[in-house]
């Protein structure tokens, strides 16, 4: 790994850190070390990073702003690529928004809405990056990324880069092609927006943000929704009806504000969260014969 670190540093690909704690890079403030963490300073440097990784034949994992993510206490093997400051360009052209995969989704939606452009208000308050939102087809308030995406620039595991349409990304509820069928990361995306009444757009965005603030526990370290909704039922409603609000294992607790959130209440370990997830799934299956599936992505060494 030392040779790999040295080559990445010589290539000046961006920030290169060895044995970096991933708790510093996730919204849940949980996660052991990455063997190597790279934050590329731009698209060309990301391509250079991938060439070097393939040369050394090591595993790689991509993260954005660390939401919707639970990283193992043992960390992640190989190279973790963080899409951050070097991958956060933004351009607004008439009815299109072109932005880097590392761009903050909350910041993006706020800027676009203040220009009186409508279509992205549903994402007000959704944490994380644009790339992560495409990866998991993030959504709320009856809409999601698949409904506003024109195309996305994807880097696949084998190094191929390609622009894909929503149909090609095979979006469904909180999933896309990139999660299992063909692993990849979203480098940038083009979103469709329309001209609207600025006052109305900003008002709707603020309403969505206020709803999240009032109903979800983002004042605690958390990853976002833990389970997918087993439609037409809602995971949070089932967990609440089961009497599990406030239930604690180790430092992890089912939020008392919203039962589909697990918060890092007291220096929680990833194992605490995993054990709590398993307990919730077992309880809901026994009580309601419903199999809950995780929405949060659990990654790293086992």
Phi/psi region, residue 258 (left: phi>0; alpha: psi -120 to 50; beta: rest), is: beta
How many Å apart are CA 186 and CA 62, to the nearest integer?
10
Rounded to whole angstroms, the maximal C-alpha distance in the chain is 57
Residue 40 near residue 75, CB atoms below 8 Å: no
Query: Is the preceding omega at residue 158 within 30 degrees of 0, hence cis?
Result: no
Answer yes or no: are the C-beta atoms of 127 and 218 closer than 8 Å.
Answer: yes
Minimal CA–CA distance to 57: which of 13, 19, 14, 1?
A: 1
> What is the Cα–Cα distance from 124 to 194, expressed in whole angstroms?
17
**Residue 93 neighbours by CB under 8 Å, 6+ apart:** none
Phi, psi values for residue 156, rounded to 5°: -90, 165
Find the catalytic residue in 170, 174, 182, 212.
174
Instruction: Name the catalytic one among 20, 39, 188, 295.
Output: 295
Residue with tokens 């992505």: 297
174 is catalytic: yes
3-state secondary structure of 288: helix
Of the candidates 93, 91, 124, which has an alpha carbon nearest to the alpha carbon of residue 203? Answer: 124
225 is catalytic: yes
Alpha helices in 59-129 (DSSP H): 105-114
- Tell me, yes or no, if 241 is annotated catalytic: no
Catalytic residue among 72, 104, 146, 225: 225
- Active centre residues (catalytic): 174, 225, 295
């Amino acid at each position: 790994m030392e040779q790999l670190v040295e080559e990445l540093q010589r290539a000046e690909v961006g920030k290169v850190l060895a044995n970096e704690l991933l708790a510093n890079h996730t919204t849940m403030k949980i996660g052991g070390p990455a063997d190597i963490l790279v934050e590329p300073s731009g698209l060309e440097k990301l391509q250079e990073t991938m060439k070097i990784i393939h040369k050394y034949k090591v595993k790689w994992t991509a993260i954005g702003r660390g939401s919707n993510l639970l990283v193992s206490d043992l960390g992640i093997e190989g190279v973790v690529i963080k899409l951050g400051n070097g991958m956060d360009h933004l351009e607004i052209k008439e009815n299109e928004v072109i932005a880097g995969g590392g761009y903050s989704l909350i910041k993006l939606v706020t800027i676009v809405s203040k220009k009186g452009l409508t279509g992205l208000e549903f994402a007000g308050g959704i944490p994380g990056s644009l790339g992560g939102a495409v990866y998991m087809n993030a959504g709320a308030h009856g809409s999601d990324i698949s409904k506003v995406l024109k195309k996305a620039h994807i880097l696949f595991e084998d190094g191929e880069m390609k622009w894909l349409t929503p149909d090609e990304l095979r979006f469904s509820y909180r999933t896309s092609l990139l999660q299992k069928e063909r692993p990849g990361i979203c480098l940038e995306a083009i979103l469709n927006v329309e001209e609207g009444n600025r006052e109305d757009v900003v008002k709707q965005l603020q309403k969505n943000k206020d709803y999240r603030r009032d109903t979800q526990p983002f004042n605690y370290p958390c990853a976002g929704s833990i389970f997918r909704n087993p439609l037409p039922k809602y995971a949070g409603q089932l967990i609440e009806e089961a009497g599990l609000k406030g239930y604690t294992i180790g430092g992890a607790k089912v939020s008392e504000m919203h039962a589909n959130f697990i918060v890092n209440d007291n220096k929680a370990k990833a194992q605490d969260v995993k054990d709590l997830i398993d307990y919730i799934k077992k309880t809901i299956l026994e009580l309601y014969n419903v199999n809950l599936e995780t929405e949060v992505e659990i990654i790293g060494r086992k």
